[in-house]
């Protein structure tokens, strides 16, 4: 077994880096930690994409130490036109805990976010009863979940 010291980041490959930076900073309150451009033989070898060139931004939220890495490949020849659906295999969504789910829902709805449903309160099974959640998508279709945990958790 390896010894993982801590969780570092979640990477999201994007088509429009600037648009996604604006969404995550202005809509969800993330801060930019660093921006960079990368293009080298080693990078191409490491990601298994010959001649890879990318722009990236690491974002961090004031209430967390986990970063989101937005990555736009400049010479991307593989378009990402497959829509995200909640039950597709693989990484599916990012979840954030909020202090007031209903208020967060209203704020984001006023900003034009379209949700899968209104906020849901789970009634059963009893192990997760009282858990509240709602799903929506960022501007490029990546699913985001907002959570409000039960008070007794």
**Domain extents for the chain?**
9-73, 93-148
At residue 79 the predicted structure's pLDDT band, cuts being 50, 70 and 90, is low
**Facing residues of 34 across strands?**
58
Q: Specify the CATH architecture of the domain 9-73.
A: Roll (3.10)
CA-based radius of gyration for the chain: 18
Which residues lie closer than 8 Å to 9 by C-beta, 6 or more apart? 58, 66, 67, 68, 69
Name the residue with higher pLDDT: 46 or 87: 46
Interval 135-147 mean pLDDT: 93
Q: Kindly report, residue by residue over 14-26, the tens digit of the pLDDT.
A: 999 999 999 999 9
User: Domain 93-148 sits in which CATH superfamily?
Assistant: 2,3-Dihydroxybiphenyl 1,2-Dioxygenase, domain 1 (3.10.180.10)
pLDDT for 80 equals 54
pLDDT for 82 equals 60
Q: Kindly report, residue by residue over 80-129, the tens digit of the pLDDT.
A: 556 666 667 667 899 999 999 999 999 999 999 999 999 999 998 888 88
Model pTM? Answer: 0.83
pLDDT for 28 equals 96
Q: Is the dihedral of CA 17, 18, 23, 25 positive or negative?
A: positive
At residue 60 the predicted structure's pLDDT band, cuts being 50, 70 and 90, is very high
Domain 9-73 identical in fold to domain 93-148: yes
Q: Which two tokens stand for residue 129?
A: 């009863």
For a pLDDT cut of 90, what percent of the chain falls above it? Answer: 59
In 10 A of CB 133, how many CB atoms?
18
pLDDT for 2 equals 76
Instruction: Return mean pLDDT, the chain.
Output: 88
């Amino acid at each position: 077994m390896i010894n993982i010291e801590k969780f570092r980041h979640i990477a999201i490959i994007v088509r429009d880096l600037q648009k996604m930076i604006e969404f995550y900073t202005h809509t969800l309150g993330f801060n930019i930690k660093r921006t960079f451009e990368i293009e080298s033989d080693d990078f191409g070898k490491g990601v298994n994409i010959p001649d890879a060139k990318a722009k990236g931004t690491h974002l961090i939220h004031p209430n967390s130490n986990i970063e989101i890495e937005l990555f736009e490949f400049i010479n991307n020849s593989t378009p990402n036109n497959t829509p995200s659906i909640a039950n597709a295999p693989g990484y599916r969504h990012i979840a954030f805990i909020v202090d007031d789910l209903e208020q967060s829902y209203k704020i984001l709805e006023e900003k034009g976010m379209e949700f899968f449903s209104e906020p849901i309160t789970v009634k059963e099974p009893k192990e997760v009863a009282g858990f509240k959640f709602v799903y929506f998508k960022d501007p490029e279709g990546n699913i985001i979940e907002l959570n409000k945990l039960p008070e007794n958790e």
